[in-house]
Amino acid sequence: MLAYLRHALAHLRGLLRSRADLQIEILALRHQLIVYERTASRPRLHPTDRLFWSILSRRFVDWREALVIVKPETVLRWRRRRFREHWARLSRSGRRAGRPRVPQDLRGLIRRMYRANPTWGSPRICGELAKLGLDVARSTVDKYPPRTRPPASPTWKTFLEAHTKDLVAVDFFTVPTIRNRVLFVFVILALERRRIVHFNVTANPTAEWTARQIVQAFPYDSAPRYLVRDRDNIYGNVFSSRVKGMGIEEVITSYRSPWQNGYVERLIGTIRREFLDYMIIFSEGHLRRVLKRYFDYYHRWRTHLSLDMDCPEPRRVQRPDEGEVVEVSEVYGLHHHYERRAA
């Protein structure tokens, strides 16, 4: 009795269906019959059968009731697999994603630069590679996080940026000798190209001596408009009078504010870290000679972040077809520069 009742309900349900749904159900049942006919005991499904049911399960609402040969979970698994294979095929057919692989010789060159120049950071290495015609991102050679700097005064920063071409900065720093004498080095830095205009060494700095250095650094009409200095007592009335007579306006930093003369302070730190910390100084003459040698390297070969990785004396970019990369020792082997030379 129950079986007849089920058949009657199924027939009534079939009358309420649309003609399209009935045709799809008939198609599904016929397909299963074809599968059973070509198998002995267990149905053997082909890839076309799986594709058929994957598509049919998306178009036919009551596909689960019409399915007999496999479980509905199996059809859902076929659909997921087909989805993965479809997008994997599209991914393989397109261009390879991600960054291009760094060549082995370029990786070796970066390692050589790190080993030969322990004080260099990733920006310096990027600058050297750019001068060799090798466009390498900083993140490729970056090994350390960037240093955070305290924000500078907007007013002072605006003044420096607006008058860079007319500004020079001066300062002293000390160097001990092997005989425990203290020598004073006076440097004059042109801010526009980070160029060291003049330097000199003395054991007894005075205002008169310092004023003479300004005159020697800017003969005739080459004097800048502004000169930035700190409030050291070495700059006395004689120095101020001489500077004013040359038409230079002094810009004196605030008390305990070395960051206001940060360009020359950074230069002094660079000289110590990259050169003087590795040298033993014997006398004034010796210090002048070794500093001159370092400054030659500094102007011609050392790249600067503030100059878009160029040198104080502009250095042209060498193309890869100009020869092999050659490593040249500089400053007693403490540093190296890299250039292309034809074989």
Q: How far is CA 339 from CA 126, 297, 308, in A?
A: 14, 14, 18
Residue 5 lies in a domain: no
Same domain, 201 and 127: no
Same domain, 180 and 87: no
pTM reported for the whole predicted model? 0.62
CA triplet 264, 308, 303: central angle to 5 degrees? 60
Same domain, 31 and 54: yes
pLDDT tens digits, residue range 267-291? 999 999 999 999 999 999 999 999 9
Rounded to whole angstroms, the Cα distance separating 326 from 341 reads: 7
Residue length of the chain: 343
Same domain, 213 and 267: yes
Residue 8 lies in a domain: no
Same domain, 113 and 80: no
When divided into structural domains, the chain yields a total of 3
Same domain, 133 and 182: no
CATH number at residue 214: 3.30.420.10
3-state secondary structure the chain: CHHHHHHHHHHHHHHHCCHHHHHHHHHHHHHHHHHHHCCCCCCCCCHHHHHHHHHHHHHCCCHHHHCCCCCHHHHHHHHHHHHHHHHHHHHHHCCCCCCCCCCHHHHHHHHHHHHHCCCCCHHHHHHHHHHCCCCCCHHHHCCCCCCCCCCCCHHHHHHHHHCHHHEEEEEEEEEECCCCCEEEEEEEEECCCCEEEEEEEECCCCHHHHHHHHHHHCCCCCCCCEEEECCCCCCCHHHHHHHHHCCCEEEECCCCCHHHHHHHHHHHHHHHHHCHHHCCCCCHHHHHHHHHHHHHHHHHCCCEHHHCCECCCCCCCCCHHHCEEEEEEECCCCEEEEEEECC
Same domain, 189 and 222: yes
Residue 7 lies in a domain: no
Per-residue confidence (pLDDT) for residue 152, from 0 to 100: 43
> pLDDT truncated to tens, each residue of the chain (343 aa)?
555 456 556 656 666 667 777 777 777 777 776 776 666 566 677 888 888 878 878 777 777 877 777 788 888 888 888 888 888 887 776 555 566 777 888 888 888 888 788 778 888 888 998 999 988 888 888 754 334 444 444 566 677 777 788 899 999 999 999 999 999 999 999 999 999 999 999 999 999 999 999 999 998 888 999 999 999 989 989 999 999 999 999 999 998 888 889 999 999 999 999 999 999 999 999 999 999 999 999 999 999 988 889 999 999 999 999 999 999 999 999 999 999 998 7
Name beta bridge partners: 329: 336
Same domain, 159 and 139: no
Domain boundary among 50, 65, 91: 91
Same domain, 137 and 169: no
Same domain, 86 and 114: no
Same domain, 219 and 255: yes
Per-residue confidence (pLDDT) for residue 106, from 0 to 100: 86
Residue 204 lies in a domain: yes
Residue 292 lies in a domain: no
Residue 307 lies in a domain: no
Same domain, 134 and 163: no
Domain that holds residue 131: 104-143+323-341
Residue 50 lies in a domain: yes
